[in-house]
Structure 1
């Protein structure tokens, strides 16, 4: 029979295992510096400094795509930084912008994050460099990734449910989870709509440790979901905790909003 002390030690080891190897964001890795030149950090004033709050991605020389829930009440002094890899280090590649216009989708539903797409117009066009470029996004009529298709995401979001944030941009590859599964009552139920796609990755391989889950998390919101190098989704929401088996990350399907995007950005519809 185990003594009380032995049981306490065993319980501590078990809990440590949950923290170190459980349902947390451990599967991503640091991206090569400026290998994703479309990535943006949306930052808020904190004292004398700026703090990363959400991601975004450049889709034209003066336009950024992000999520409504990142700025539900307006810009409020936030700035956009492009050409950033390290949030803390001085980098000659960084370009910082004020937000000239914020366009949140008028049908955004805060109860289930449906229509979680927003467009930001920067105060000026960015200077196109190797570290700052726009990414193509999928338009109506394009083919979205099917179940099990490999997709990618990136951001400066939390690495675990303890809120530990990286200084450098991280990236991850994941697989699309079927809409049928994500709409099940034990997943998201009726909160999951046809405007959403969900994705994560159950690994032990190539992740360092058993049963770890690759997933986006707090601070990654607004960043892109990419399929074959094209932005097909916007990081939206996946539940109160990240890396849960039955709560994959949810992404807004960009191609469902082509008409609205064209109207806001003043683009001419395809002939």
Structure 2
């Protein structure tokens, strides 16, 4: 399942007049060792899939809208269909959703997951650095997202995909999303390039210079760019407090 929803090929007819469509590419194996693949279960419905990322040996960060009654986390995967020694599957025993999260407004879309046991760190499984509270990702900066969400042709890849996306000026997101708030969100994705993330990429990390700065949160119903990501630096006091709670015996 992965990235690159491109103004959905199913929604917009293909035309070369709009310029070349730029695709993401398959990531180099284990080049994103912090990546987590989430399978979320609710009674009476099909499993939902999201991305996430390992911030402590036993804590994964993701989007709040990826919550469910039961969550299983896979670490160390490149091809999610593989069964090899790198892959660790660990159930989630506790979730903490930001108290200000609103599904209707899609704000404060951040959640921490406590794993049943600590992950075994290796070349395939590593934690990723969090930003400082004062960090600011600025328009024009290009960072990387990875995930297993749908491709632009609507097929679901088994292997991890990656794409470089450009941060946009907040005004572009204010025009498309009525609840956009630049102090806690990032506006991401250059409409001229058509590169984007898709539904199952939700919760995945937006990584700038080896530091995770954003969480894939929402895309517009029409498939138009840019998209909205949660700005992690704005939540660092809350994150640090919740990590301490989750790590208590």
Q: Same fold (TM over 0.5)?
A: yes
Distance, in Å, in 2 between the alignment partners of 1:69 and 1:16 is 25
CA distances 1:189-235 after superposition (whole Å, capped 9, x unpaired):
x32113110111345xxxxxxxx511111100000011111100000
Hey, what does 1:87 align to over in structure 2? 80
Structure 1: distance between partners of 2:233 and 2:81: 34
Partner residue in 1 for 2:129 = 136
TM-score of the pair, normalised by structure 1: 0.78
Return the alpha-carbon distance in structure 2 between the equivalents of residues 77 and 36 of structure 1.
25
How does the TM-score come out when normalised to structure 2? 0.85
Match of 2:3 in 1: none
Which residue pairs with 1:164 in the alignment? 155
Moved over 4 A (4+): 19-26
Separation in structure 1 between the aligned mates of residue 74 and residue 35 of structure 2, nearest angstrom: 9
Is contact 1:56-1:64 (8 Å) kept? yes
Q: Which has the higher contact order (CA 8 A, sep 6+)?
A: 2
CA distance in 2, matches of 1:92, 1:213: 37
What is the DSSP-based 3-state SS (H/G/I as helix, E as strand, rest coil) of the residue aligned with 1:263? helix
Any idea what SS the aligned residue of 2:167 has?
A: strand
Q: Which runs of 5+ in 2 are unaligned?
A: 1-9
- 1:109-258 alignment to 2 at 5 Å? 109-142=102-135, 144-160=136-152, 163-184=154-175, 187-188=176-177, 190-194=178-182, 195-202=184-191, 213-242=194-223, 244=224, 247-258=225-236
The 1-side partners of 2:173 and 2:110 are apart by: 20
CA distances 1:173-192 after superposition (whole Å, capped 9, x unpaired): 011010122212xx22x321
Q: What is the distance in 2 between the residues matched to 1:106 and 1:16?
A: 36
The count of residues paired between Structure 1 and Structure 2 equals 231
Aligned-residue Cα RMSD (Å) equals 2.6
Question: CA offset at residue 112 of structure 1?
Answer: 2.1
Q: Give the corresponding residue for 1:27.
A: 23
Query: Aligned to 2:146, what secondary structure does the other structure show?
Result: strand
